[in-house]
């Protein structure tokens, strides 16, 4: 399947989010938004609020908590809607109403109903990297976020500021400016990225090996017969074996 997602970075200062649902999922979505901008405008409507969500709401004047059932008027003047209830009929109703008003929708744990995803995000000063698996594996997206957070140096903001100053003061045209910036950043590629590429290439092998050990361990733990294990290997997608092969060669 072709991945048709187009990554964009939204300026949240002017955006107003509506979250429908105040449980664990609603809390997670609110925290995700607040982590990127503590001043982001959020309205949360729910018949029940997680205690921590109530604390967050009381601590932020930019967050409005409405303790009641969803109403169509809640969609007024909203730019994005995140649906996070455990009632499928409510989720569908809110989505249909939001779509009829041209509002983009995210439905928790239902990728097929989403207009956008809240991906895993790496924050390093002015550097921000968003990671998505097209809604298929949030766990892998989180692991990749942890990986990049570790390997990207915390002091990269200094390099970004130097490059920005160089770019601002450069007197040449766009082509000359781009050529000079490419030349200046070559050392980063030689000294930094190539070194990390070797580490990153181990990732497919590590993932494939972990999955294989889990599969074998699970088989023995449930006393699966040898024929059962053979069948298990047959039903594993060829993509898994390709990943395993790539992992071995990349080492």
For 107-135, the pLDDT digits (tens) are 998 888 999 998 889 999 899 999 998 88
Among the ranges 65-74, 183-192, 215-224, 240-249, which has the highest mean pLDDT value? Answer: 65-74
On whether both 16 and 52 belong to a single domain, the answer is yes
On whether both 166 and 226 belong to a single domain, the answer is no
pLDDT confidence band for 238 (50 / 70 / 90): low
Look at residue 19 and tell me whether its pLDDT is greater than 60: yes
User: Is 106 domain-assigned?
Assistant: yes
- What's residue 191's pLDDT? 53
On whether both 16 and 110 belong to a single domain, the answer is yes
- What's residue 215's pLDDT? 53
Q: What is the mean pLDDT of residues 146-173?
A: 83
On whether both 178 and 246 belong to a single domain, the answer is no
Mean pLDDT score of the chain, rounded to an integer? 81
Strands 16-20 and 41-46: parallel
- What's residue 174's pLDDT? 76
- Structural domain harbouring 57: 12-118
**Contact (CB, 8 A) for 191 and 198:** no
Single residue among 149, 164, 195 that ends a domain in this structure: 195
User: Is 141 domain-assigned?
Assistant: yes
Q: What is the mean pLDDT of residues 41-69?
A: 97
What is the rounded CA–CA span in Å between residue 105 and residue 108? Answer: 10
- What's residue 222's pLDDT? 53
On whether both 26 and 64 belong to a single domain, the answer is yes
pLDDT confidence band for 160 (50 / 70 / 90): confident
On whether both 83 and 21 belong to a single domain, the answer is yes
- Residues above pLDDT 70, as percent of the chain: 72
Q: Which residues contact 145 (CB under 8 A, 6 or more apart)?
A: 120, 121, 122, 131
- CATH number for 52: 3.40.50.720
Residue 114 DSSP one-character state: -
On whether both 89 and 54 belong to a single domain, the answer is yes
- What's residue 245's pLDDT? 52
- What's residue 128's pLDDT? 93
pLDDT confidence band for 20 (50 / 70 / 90): very high
Look at residue 60 and tell me whether its pLDDT is greater than 60: yes
Closest to 28 measured CA to CA, from 82, 67, 94, 68: 82
On whether both 132 and 171 belong to a single domain, the answer is yes
- What's residue 176's pLDDT? 75
What is the rounded CA–CA span in Å between residue 212 and residue 93? Answer: 42
User: Is 5 domain-assigned?
Assistant: no
On whether both 100 and 146 belong to a single domain, the answer is no
Q: What is the mean pLDDT of residues 58-75?
A: 97
pLDDT confidence band for 21 (50 / 70 / 90): very high
- What's residue 80's pLDDT? 98
Number of domains in the chain: 3
On whether both 26 and 100 belong to a single domain, the answer is yes
Q: What is the mean pLDDT of residues 179-208?
A: 59
What is the rounded CA–CA span in Å between residue 44 and residue 25? Answer: 12
User: Is 3 domain-assigned?
Assistant: no
- What's residue 247's pLDDT? 53
**Contact (CB, 8 A) for 33 and 40:** yes
Q: Please give the helix or strand (H or E) that residue 106 lies within, else none.
A: strand 104-107
């Amino acid at each position: 399947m072709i991945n048709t997602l187009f990554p964009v970075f939204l300026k949240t200062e002017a955006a107003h989010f509506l979250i429908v649902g105040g449980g664990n999922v609603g809390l997670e979505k609110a925290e995700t938004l607040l982590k990127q901008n503590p001043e982001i405008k959020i309205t949360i409507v729910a018949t029940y609020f997680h205690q921590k969500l109530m604390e967050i709401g009381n601590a932020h004047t930019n967050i409005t908590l409405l303790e009641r059932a969803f109403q169509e008027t809640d969609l007024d003047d909203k730019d994005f809607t995140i649906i996070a209830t455990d009632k499928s009929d409510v989720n569908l109703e809110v989505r249909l109403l939001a779509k009829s008003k041209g509002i983009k929708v995210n439905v928790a744990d239902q990728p097929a109903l989403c207009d956008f995803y809240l991906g895993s995000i790496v924050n390093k000063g002015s550097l921000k990297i968003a990671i998505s698996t097209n809604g298929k594996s949030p766990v892998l997206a989180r692991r990749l976020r942890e990986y990049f957070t570790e390997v990207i140096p915390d002091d990269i903001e200094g390099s970004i500021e130097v490059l920005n100053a160089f770019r601002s003061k450069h007197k040449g045209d766009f082509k000359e400016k781009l050529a000079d910036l490419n030349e200046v950043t070559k050392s980063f590629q030689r000294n930094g990225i190539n070194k990390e590429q070797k580490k990153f290439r181990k990732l497919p092998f590590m993932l494939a090996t972990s999955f294989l050990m889990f599969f074998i361990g699970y088989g023995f733990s449930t006393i699966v017969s040898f024929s059962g294990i053979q069948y298990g290997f047959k039903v594993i997608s060829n993509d898994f074996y390709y990943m395993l092969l790539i992992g071995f060669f990349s080492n």
